[in-house]
Amino acid sequence: MATLSDMKEVFRRADAVCFDVDSTVIKEEGIDELAKCCGVGDAVTEMTHKAMGGSMSFKTALIERLSIIRCSREQVNKLLTDHPPQLTPGISELVDRLHQRGIKVYLISGGFRCIVEHVATQLNIPLHHVYANRLKFYFNGEYAGFDESQPTAEGGGKGKVISMLKEQNGFENVVMIGDGATDLEACPPANAFIGCGGNVIRPQVKEKSLWYVTSFRELLKELEHI
C-alpha cells in the first residue's frame, strides 16, 4: 500500500509531471468562461460541477455543455483577448523548477486546445506536450462540434494519454496533478497523484488523495529536499 512518503519520493524522482489545466494550472474553468462569454454561463457551470464531481460521465457533460454554448471562432478569440486565462500563483515557478531539473512537463486537459495552448505558451511548455480537446468550426467560423477522437474527450482519457506517454518515452515515474475526479482516476497508470485544492476543493477528491495540497509552493518546497 502506497504511503505519503512513497508519493513524495515518486514526485522527487519524476521523469514527467502532468498537470490538469482548469482550476489547477489556471484559476478558472475554461469552458465556464467560454459559456459566460456566449451568454449561457449559469446553465453550463451547473453541468461542470456534475462532471467534475463524477456524477455525470465526462463525455456526456462535454457534449451537453457544448450543445448549449455553440461558440463561434470569433467568440473564442474574444475570450482569449478580453478574459485571458489567469495562472494560479506559484505555477510558473514550479514549471520552471521542473524544467531546470530536466523533468518533462505536460498539460492534459478535458478543456479546449485553443485555450490550453495559450496557457502552455505562458509557461514555456512545448505545444506538442499539450493534450486537450479540439473545437471544430465551419469555414464561416460557426461552431461545428468537437473532435470526438481525442482521448481527452472520453472518461478515462487522461489515463490513456499517460499510458501512451510512458510507452512512447520509457517514463518510469509519472505524476498527475489536478483538482478533479478525472485527474484522480488517471492514477494508475500515473505512478502518483497529487490532489490540488488551490482554486477549488472537491471533497471526494480530497478524501481519496494520499497527498493533497492547496498551494504549488508546497510542491516547490518538496523539490528543495533533493
Catalytic residue among 22, 32, 179, 183: 22
Consecutive H or E run containing 166: helix 157-169
Catalytic, 147? Answer no
What interhelical angle do 4-12 and 216-223 show, nearest 10?
70
Reading across the β-sheet that carries 104-112, which strands appear in turn? 130-133, 104-112, 16-19, 174-178, 192-196, 211-213
Catalytic residue among 20, 32, 179, 183: 20
Residues in CB range of 137: below 8 A, 6 or more apart:
72, 73, 143, 144
Proportion of the chain in helix, strand, coil states, percent, rounded to 5: 50, 15, 30
Point out which residues pair with 105 in neighbouring strands: 17
Whole-number Å distance between alpha carbons of 224 and 205: 26
Catalytic, 20? Answer yes
HEC readout, 95-149: HHHHHHCCCEEEEEEEEEHHHHHHHHHHCCCCHHHEEEECEEECCCCCEEEECCC
Angle at 141 between CA 161 and CA 31, to 5 degrees: 45
Residue 69 in contact with residue 142, Cβ under 8 Å?
Answer: no
Catalytic residues: 20, 22
